[in-house]
Structure 1
């Protein structure tokens, strides 16, 4: 008999702020399970790309990031709860950056470039949504110190495992991880709000997701679907996992877009099912360009997928439960 694989408890190391020059700030709405998270780039901005894989996205300025479009640097990125309402928070980030004198010079003005993506947490907070004031507050809270994880910022209202109804779901959250290898740092921060389960790639077993009818164990959604168990598909746009992968490597805009694409492999390893019709899964890639090393894109892509998968696991390990929505630490 093979030895049982031990249940991992310790978080993977690292944070998005391990990439020098980046600052992260969370704002959680008082008394409401929703919030937003901002990543502030160095004053000159950072090269950015994006890849939207889910079929129900809520995004802002992602078209600008296409490789054949003009602007290649952004000044901040925003991840927010509140579904499409949460895109309002980007306006507060723009105004905060403008007040600091940051932005793209356009004639007599500076226009901060702030791509954003939102997740659906209106199950828990139907009338509470991050707005411009929340975006401003997240900027005020931004720091180069290791960012908080779990049920904060964009991860506050995150849930996972909704294929058999919201009543059998579990709490998600926001998590980070980083790696230093080949002379560069690659890090990720992911807000995990998936329709599917969060899977430990080392064991193939779910850490958090749809629970059995008695609520005491995990259903293993993908396996149950293969076996023919009927699902209760949530409404379109009712989930979404959002993330940012960042590096200090020098990248062009097309390379940043490619890095965002490959980083989705990390979601595929750690969430199953993923990229569904009800998810708007979106990953951004940032490159500050301060590292002297220049590893091949195959190396950077490998590191990016790994830190994304690790960040997903850290998100559910750090999450805390709500009534009727247990967290990983409580169900185990």
Structure 2
């Protein structure tokens, strides 16, 4: 099947219509993510990110539905109460950003979406609101770094470390746009860092999880095979997180294959995040500890990694302070 943006948009519209017919509880459905851009595919695979707003508390928060091997639906379910205060949405890095910045409305009851989006988007890009979206991410990253001091070498520790890196990167990204999501996080961060005059914050972030010497082709092949094995095992678990649903396996694998030669840090980011999550979900290790050693994320290197993270967070805080001064906040 040939995948084009037009066929994906038709699928999104058809899905919205089907969901709206099936439930009177739905107020609104809108499309976000890569399909709102001209380049939705990465490695020939993508997902369709739908947000469904319910009048009551939804029974589930997230679901993943397979459409083909290369395409899945990733549906978030929210209650309307999250949208009732537009002033708070303007300072919400996630729900607010993806509501205010050009989503595609697919279903709307009584102009609910039109009114809510207009209210949230008003003054959304005012510097005071921008820094209120970015600052909490930097503060959470700093608190996360403090909590990592003296932590044992476990999957929980590495997940926490990667979470701090994500928050730090998005504390930079949110100064010039929406937060970055998993597959395109390291791919798009350089543009965001350059937009605030701090291009070094992109390479600096990559240095926090990439090895001091590039992986050779043989080592990449070994890690890739072990990672794929772990993802497959995790998807078969009864309580597997939605992010590890079997329908998303190629979504990750194709992205890593597409990125690893020219954008190895972007590929490693996807691999590390999903591999660590899979091990935490209960999948067999299948080489995860060996990967941590190869990537210098094991106990022998962790103190150095934390020192580097400390310095990076200093840079993020300085960038935000500079933004505040430049905008007279």
Short-chain TM bin? under 0.3
Of Structure 1 and Structure 2, the greater helix share is in 2
TM-score (norm 1): 0.27
TM-score (norm 2): 0.27
Give the structure, 1 or 2, with the largest relative contact order (CA under 8 Å, sep 6 or more). 1
> Which one has a bigger Cα radius of gyration?
2
